[in-house]
Structures are given as C-alpha cells and as structure tokens.
Amino acid sequence: MYLGRDRKLNRWMGYDYNTPGWYFITICTKDRVECLCNIENGVVVLTKIGEIVRDQLLWLAKQYDYIKLDEWVIMPNHLHVIIELQNENYYKLKGNGTTVGNGRDRSLHDCDNHKIKPLPEIIGAFKTTSSKLIHRNGHEYFQWQKSFHDRVIRNDNEYYNYKYYIQQNPFNWSEDRNNPKNL
C-alpha cells in the first residue's frame, strides 16, 4: 500500500493487534530530540520530561488491566518496552464467531462489555496523555515522532533477545542507532 513519498506502512498487514502475546515497541521523540534522560556510565538519569514518560508508561498498566509491562527502558530520545497483552477472552470470543475489529468503532469487547483496545490505540493513549502532561509542565515544544515501531515477538528466543537488548541499551548508548551522533 502506497502512503506517500516518505511514508511506509508500519503495522503488520492483516495482523490482529488484539491478539494476546508479547510486543516489542520503540517510540521516539520527534527529530530524535534528546530530552527524556541522560546516560551516565550506563545509568539512566531521567529529566522531568522523562519522569512524566515513566509515570505514563506505568499508568498504562494501571489503566488497562489486560496489559503488562514486561521489560522497558527510557533512553535520551526514545523508549523501548515489551508489552504483554493478556486478553483471556480473546480466543473464546474469536472462536464464537465474534467479529474482531481493528479500530475505535470495532474493538473487541469481553463478556462484561469491557473494551479491549488494540496495541496501536494503547500506544496512542500513552503518547497523547504523556504529551499533554509534558506540555502542562512547561515543555510546549515536546512532540513524539509520528507512529512507532513494533515487533510481534514470535518465540522465546526473540523474547529473551529483546529483553537483553533493553537491559543493555543504556550501556550501549554511544553505539545506538538512535543516538544523534550516529545518524
């Protein structure tokens, strides 16, 4: 699908992002502006903006009881997180012929009519709420990069590789492809 000269389709075409499982997510600041933290000898030291980002990431797990934050790290201009969707009603409803949607109007509902947001909407909620709080705290310039990177984690080996990557990311910042010095 052609989306314009500089745009590409980011999501896995035909994949149902309500599917229970693990997802590796990367979200970057617009223009890779380094405003979330400083890395000091492999240790993340959050800025005020980074503290808001951390708090809103933790808010996701409280707001949506069907997601679990597994491993995560906030870097100077991006964050990585492994999110687990834990939707126990997914297969039951899908097997019963319930239509599984992929947008606001067609989201999967469980037996209690509890809306289950697909992953792109969860990330959208995070980006919207964190941006609003950051702006209210005097940082009107702040913006997230449009969209985000995701990878559906397909097996244990991928899971452990991404988990290790996240854990090591602060120690490898000087070589990170998101480090502006390496662009």
Number of domains in the chain: 1
Task: Return the bridge partners of 78, or none.
Answer: 28
- Give the tens place of pLDDT for each residue, 165-183: 999 999 999 888 888 887 7
Q: What is the pLDDT of residue 93?
A: 54
Q: What angle do CA 168, 169, 174 make, to 5 degrees?
A: 115
- Give the tens place of pLDDT for each residue, 47-58: 999 999 999 999
Q: What is the pLDDT of residue 22?
A: 94
Q: What is the pLDDT of residue 12?
A: 59
In a domain, 81, yes or no: yes
Q: Which of 105, 131, 127 is nearest to 118 (CA)?
A: 105
In a domain, 180, yes or no: no
Contact yes or no for 73/25 (Cβ under 8 A): no
- Give the tens place of pLDDT for each residue, 7-42: 445 655 667 778 889 999 999 999 999 999 999 999
Q: What is the CA radius of gyration of the chain?
A: 17
In a domain, 15, yes or no: no
CATH code of the domain covering residue 92? 3.30.70.1290
The whole-number average pLDDT for the span 152-160 is 95
Q: What is the pLDDT of residue 19?
A: 84
Distance CA 89, CA 10 (A): 27
Whether the predicted pLDDT of 106 surpasses 80: no
In a domain, 2, yes or no: no
Domain that holds residue 57: 21-163
